[in-house]
Structure 1
């Protein structure tokens, strides 16, 4: 749907992520960058000057009282997301929030409910979901090209930075969990998770972590996150009954590879007893790499934000998506406190009962 005029947005937070948001709002035909908010006035002024001298405010309240905006984009520490988002929503503004949506599920739920009650868009900035590679993965899974999903393995490891206020799961895993929520039919809805973490540096929080949970049809997902690896790896493997997909985000020449090889299930009996007694057969087929368009994920994300507002619909990475990620992260923390024991994901208890 075409809009009569661009929407007006303000970016709250001029630190690490705010400049990226400001640049994309400024470049988008759907938006007018209308303000920068930061308690550090010199930092905000520098960012505003780089984008045509837009108004600078020292607080959200000052912004709402002095600048006419349709929406705000929050790029501040996670523990501030809840308060800022509720203030903006109660002032009738649409809200975009960088990951994670909040620092607890309860706060995220209040944000989602507030937006729904007021008929406003609350969108999670799950940037990876708007990359050409992830959009293609979602398409391939939806059309059945991979067949039935057998396993998912996600690796996100690098050297640093050890965060002062969150563990490695809350820092890195939101990327992987948001991607899984985006590509899996029905979204990210595990009934329970098991997490194991290690703190060899003595920081008081996990620096290396492994997360596992069940997927439908006895499949399994595994997420590995690590602050201590001297090598950087960003890789997702989705194993299917027909094909296996590998996404290597650090290989610009061939980000996606599709392997037509694996265990052949079509010759297997559907009876569990017969499967155990029969021999496993394998197939060895071709490997190919789909062509991917070139575009900046953040540009696609701000375009989706505008479209969801104009069309009065939830964004593709809605507040509900951010809430599902938060639910898993809280279950991860509970599992870590229980020395790796499985922890139920709040909101999915009924699913857990069904599995039992």
Structure 2
């Protein structure tokens, strides 16, 4: 049994408490939050869970094995480092820190103390993304040509992070998971329509050595909510609509072929292929439940999680690069290749 403490009971904290409470191998011991009303809510929903307004109580409690931090991004580094130095395994919300330098320090500290560090890139644990990964690894799509994502809605405006760190971060983690390579360059443009606030709209393009290109459109200013990914391969193509109640993932046997055969060029150099569409069955288990159980298993088995600190670090580097490009009006930012750990 792994005893868990949770810091932050605002937007995401209640989901963490609920899922860890329902994970057989986990036991939620305490929740810390600065808002007394939030702590009263914890007591009504989970009467056996201790509450405190001082997060340091969780670090001092020797019975707590792991701490999950669901607080504003600007607090992630300080709280995360304190948790690791207290000998706790660490769950950090995304993005894991405000800078790559901070993220690297957290990774190094976790390695030094041999603590499990997981970053909550929840989409990696969804049935949809896992199925997409399975199809790609089986070679069904052929060579990956493009990834095109639209992730827009009206609000929720953030005060401490831009729309890139709030929404594009999901696509950065999904791309990192699906592709066997990292981007070599990033170009981004965006703006904040309300002075003094973070950017609320951005268009990001990522370039890969293989020829794959990824485009991500994120916005807090759209009249409708859209969560759509198009993934194109040389053999088949995938659509992933996260708002679709059923058949979120559809695989199309569609594509194009080109020929240099002189006999065929006279007819048509480009050939179009249209086959069947199938919607594979997906695991409907809540992603956060899958991730929570995975975190506990990693602690018990002393193994690195799928969304470890190194993935979180790569995502933060992409956020920094895209932000720098956006500040340069779309200027291309080239990335150094990082060592990937198995």
Query: Aligned partners of 2:288 and 2:307: how far apart in 1?
Result: 13
Pairs within 5 Å for 1:196-215: 196-202=189-195, 204-215=197-208
Residue in 2 that maps onto 1:259: 252
Q: Does 2:228 correspond to 1:235?
A: yes
For the residues of structure 1 that align with 2:102 and 2:92, how far apart are their CA atoms?
Answer: 13
Output the TM-score relative to the length of structure 2. 0.93
Counterpart for residue 109 of structure 1:
104
Aligned residue in 2 for 1:348: 337
Kindly indicate whether residue 296 of structure 2 is the aligned counterpart of residue 303 of structure 1. Answer: no
- The runs of 5 or more residues in structure 2 that have no matched partner are none
Partner of 1:319: 309
Pairing 1:72–2:67 present? yes
Counterpart of 2:137 (choices 124, 128, 142) is 142
1:185 CA displacement: 2.2
Question: Can you list the C-alpha shifts for 1:167-215, whole angstroms capped at 9, x where unaligned?
Answer: 21111111111111122224xx212200010334445432211000112
Output aligned runs, 1:88-127, within 5 Å.
88-127=83-122
Aligned equivalents of 2:141 and 2:260: distance in 1?
Answer: 18
SS in structure 2 at match of 1:169: helix
Q: How far is 1:217 from its partner?
A: 2.1
3-state DSSP of counterpart to 1:190: coil
Matched, 1:280 2:273: no
In structure 2, the residue matched to 1:222 is 215
Number of matched residues? Answer: 334
In structure 2, the residue matched to 1:84 is 79
Render the CA deviation track for 1:215-241: whole Å, top value 9, x for unaligned.
Answer: 242120001101111011001111001
Paired position in structure 1 for 2:172? 177
Q: String of CA shifts for 1:256-293, please: whole Å, max 9, x gaps.
A: 1111011126x569xxxxx9xx9222211111110112
> In 1, Cα distance between the equivalents of 2:250 and 2:57?
50
In 1, are the aligned partners of 2:72 and 2:160 still within 8 Å (CA)?
no
Identify the residue that residue 327 of structure 2 maps to in structure 1: 337
Distance 1:55 1:42 in 2: 14
State the Cα deviation string for residues 283-306 of structure 1 (Å, max 9, x = none).
Answer: 111111101122111100101101
Q: Unpaired segments of 5 or more residues in structure 1?
A: 1-5, 270-274, 351-356
What is the CA RMSD across the aligned residues, in angstroms?
1.9
- Are 1:15 and 2:10 counterparts? yes
In the alignment, the residues of structure 2 paired with residue 39 and residue 163 of structure 1 have an alpha-carbon distance, to the nearest angstrom, of 19
TM-score (ref. length: structure 1): 0.89
Structure 2: distance between partners of 1:288 and 1:66: 51
Bigger Cα displacement from structure 2, 320-329 vs 279-288:
279-288
